[in-house]
Amino acid sequence: MRATTRGKVKVLSGNQAAAQAAVLCQPDVVAAYPITPQSEVVEELSRFLAEGILKAEFVEVEGEHSALSVLIGASSSGGRTFSATSSHGLLYMFEAYSYAATLRLPIVMAHVCREVAAPNTVLCSQQDIMLARDAGWIQIHCASCQEILDSIIMAYRLAEDPDILLPVNICYDGHYLSHLSARVEVPDQADVSTFLPANKLRECRLDPDKPMMQAPYLGGKLFTEYRYKHCLAMQNALQKIDYLDEEFQKSFGRSYGGLIEEYRNEDAEIVLVALGSAASTAKAVIDLKRDEGVKVGLVRIRCFRPFACDRLSKALKGAKVIGVIDRDVCFGWNTGIVFVELRSLLNRLRMNQPMVNFIAGLSGADITKDHIERAINNMQLALHGKFGPEVTWLDLE
């Protein structure tokens, strides 16, 4: 049963949607540094601040390392925090990035996916956030401007859950989503506040009257206990993400499938796995191919960290050929990164369907309907026993 939409319909870019969502979540402290293609997020936050709509402490910083360091301090004191970055901004803050997760701080950060140099570029790929996959943050990927806005609201409920207490990255493709203006329903503040109440200061670890020590120096065994607990918290997030998606559906009438989104997957023999904007385009190609009688479906991975093993195993069980579209490169394996992870899952489940990998869309290269059609055709050949190479670099062939 769809909830009545009471929000306002606007045309917003991905970046504007992110900033708007952050404002609706009523953060206490915001600190961010501009970097293409995220800069509009910071500009919009500044505008909301100037108009008196954002009532946060907005700390002007000289770089991303400081931005996240400021938020670590604020979050450690019980404040709700927000930031945004991309690519080399993430690399510049990486030292703090590792701290934020291992200190179990519920920071929410929008991440605009962009290539890492060299060669020099400011254009889209998912390499930057994939690089960061083992720093301990929760990582969720969006495929529409509406999803960006909605996911940031859900992210705070997720991050601040006492059984989780982990920072969350809401990721979206640079330019293809960050600069895409689209129809977005902006929920009313009252409705958002019902779903996500304003922050009541959580435990303040840095209370001058009752100070705790954060990040004591610890050797081996005691240190290991913290890593174990962190992993448990990551696992707690799996079921929570699905639960929050259902709750969001009840409150706002929109759902994204939780950990993964499946499209025409029920009887699919060929299954495409993708993240981000390319997965959205893939739906249109799948419809065309279905009209031609090809039994193809899509599994869009929303939550990449933690990795949704159970949901993915169910979704891929019936597939005869699995094709992974990677907008990134795994240097060590000469494949894409998502491919390596998915292959590991299949092995764990003793599933042995043939898997093929497609690398495309690096440095802003468009992932076109033609590319996706070529991938599906390639998988159709594999379905009939005609295997090509394990990895196809779609822009080089």
Which residues of the shown chain bind other proteins in the complex (CB under 8 A)? 9, 11, 13, 118-120, 123, 143, 173, 175-177, 179-183, 277-278, 280-281, 283-284, 364, 366-369, 396
Q: How far is the CB of 168 from other proteins (least distance, A)?
A: 23
Q: How far is the CB of 364 from other proteins (least distance, A)?
A: 5
Q: Which is nearer to other proteins, 114 or 305 (CB)?
A: 114
Q: How many CB atoms lie within 10 A of CB 103?
A: 20
Q: What gap in Å lies between CA 278 and CA 281, rounded to an integer?
A: 5
Q: How far is the CB of 17 from other proteins (least distance, A)?
A: 13
Are 72 and 105 within 8 A, CB to CB? yes
Q: Which is nearer to other proteins, 83 or 363 (CB)?
A: 363
Q: How far is the CB of 276 from other proteins (least distance, A)?
A: 9
H or E element, residue 393: strand 391-393
Q: What are phi and psi of 64, to 5 degrees?
A: -65, -30
Record the tokens describing residue 386, joined without a space. Answer: 């005609």
Q: What are phi and psi of 182, to 5 degrees?
A: -150, 165
Owner of token pair 């809401």 = 170
Q: Where are the alpha helices (H) located in the chain, listed in sequence order?
A: 14-24, 39-50, 64-76, 87-92, 94-102, 127-131, 145-159, 189-195, 220-252, 277-291, 309-316, 337-348, 369-383
Q: Which is nearer to other proteins, 47 or 320 (CB)?
A: 47
Q: How far is the CB of 393 from other proteins (least distance, A)?
A: 8
DSSP symbol at 374? H
Q: How far is the CB of 10 from other proteins (least distance, A)?
A: 8
Q: How far is the CB of 38 from other proteins (least distance, A)?
A: 14
Q: What gap in Å lies between CA 93 and CA 111, rounded to an integer?
A: 13
Q: Which is nearer to other proteins, 122 or 383 (CB)?
A: 122
Q: Which is nearer to other proteins, 179 or 205 (CB)?
A: 179
Helices 369-383 and 277-291 meet at what angle, rounded to 10? 60
Residue 353 backbone zone (phi > 0: left; psi -120 to 50: alpha; other: beta) = beta
Q: Which is nearer to other proteins, 68 or 298 (CB)?
A: 298
Q: What gap in Å lies between CA 154 and CA 245, rounded to an integer?
A: 8
Q: How far is the CB of 109 from other proteins (least distance, A)?
A: 23
Strands 138-141 and 168-173 turn out to be: parallel
Q: What gap in Å lies between CA 381 and CA 307, rounded to an integer?
A: 29
Record the tokens describing residue 293, joined without a space. Answer: 């009688």
Q: How far is the CB of 288 from other proteins (least distance, A)?
A: 11
**How far out from the chain centre does Cα 22 lie?**
15
Q: Which is nearer to other proteins, 227 or 369 (CB)?
A: 369
**How far out from the chain centre does Cα 38 lie?**
15
Q: Which is nearer to other proteins, 176 or 304 (CB)?
A: 176
Q: Which is nearer to other proteins, 176 or 195 (CB)?
A: 176
Q: Which is nearer to other proteins, 243 or 393 (CB)?
A: 393
Are 70 and 31 within 8 A, CB to CB? yes
Q: How far is the CB of 172 from other proteins (least distance, A)?
A: 11
